[in-house]
């Protein structure tokens, strides 16, 4: 009986979710990009201003911890996004709760490096990269 308890305790302490090594680095994702202009604190717990800084909000599907401040995505992860022969690489500092797994939400200045913000939504290829 005691062995069962030790095993159960060990399983209870095992982290659940995607580990750092499970972030799909370098795997191209065909999807779309939009932009946002929010200011305040991003999901990683740092102050952001998406109207003036180069940054990205990753889709909720890639976040794996209850407290996003501790998520592997907040530990030196960026996204490289390409559109129409242009590319931009920006850090992940926020979470996009409404984005599906192929949709990346960029700050307005990051989006503007790829296309006119008047387009609002563009088809892109993007991937996670180490910062």
Torsion angle of alpha carbons 29, 84, 122, 75, nearest 10°?
50
Tens of pLDDT, residues 77-111: 999 999 999 999 999 999 999 999 999 999 999 99
d(CA 106, CA 55): 6
| pTM, entire model | 0.84
Number of neighbouring beta carbons within 10 Å of residue 89: 17
* 3-class DSSP state of 70: helix
d(CA 81, CA 55): 11
pLDDT band with cut points at 50, 70 and 90 for residue 12:
very low
Residue 21: what pLDDT?
52
Residue 4: what pLDDT?
37
Return the closest-CA partner of residue 63 out of 51, 71, 55.
71
- Give me the mean pLDDT over the 33-46 stretch: 97
Tokens (6 digits) for 77: 């992860």
Share of the chain above pLDDT 70, in %: 84
Backbone phi, then psi, for 124, in 5-degree steps? Answer: -135, 170
Residue 11: what pLDDT?
34
Tens of pLDDT, residues 50-83: 999 999 999 999 999 989 999 999 999 999 999 9
């Amino acid at each position: 009986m005691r062995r069962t308890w030790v095993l159960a305790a060990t399983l209870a302490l095992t982290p659940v979710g995607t580990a750092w090594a499970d972030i799909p680095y370098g795997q191209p994702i065909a999807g779309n990009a939009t932009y946002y202009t929010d200011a305040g604190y991003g999901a990683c717990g740092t102050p952001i201003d998406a109207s003036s800084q180069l940054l990205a909000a990753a889709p909720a599907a890639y976040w794996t911890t209850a407290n996003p401040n501790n998520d592997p995505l907040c530990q030196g992860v960026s996204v490289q996004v390409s559109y129409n022969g242009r590319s931009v690489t920006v850090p992940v500092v926020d979470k996009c709760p409404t984005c599906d797994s192929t949709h990346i939400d960029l700050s307005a200045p990051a989006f503007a490096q790829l296309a006119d913000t008047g387009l609002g939504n563009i088809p892109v290829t993007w991937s996670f990269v180490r910062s």
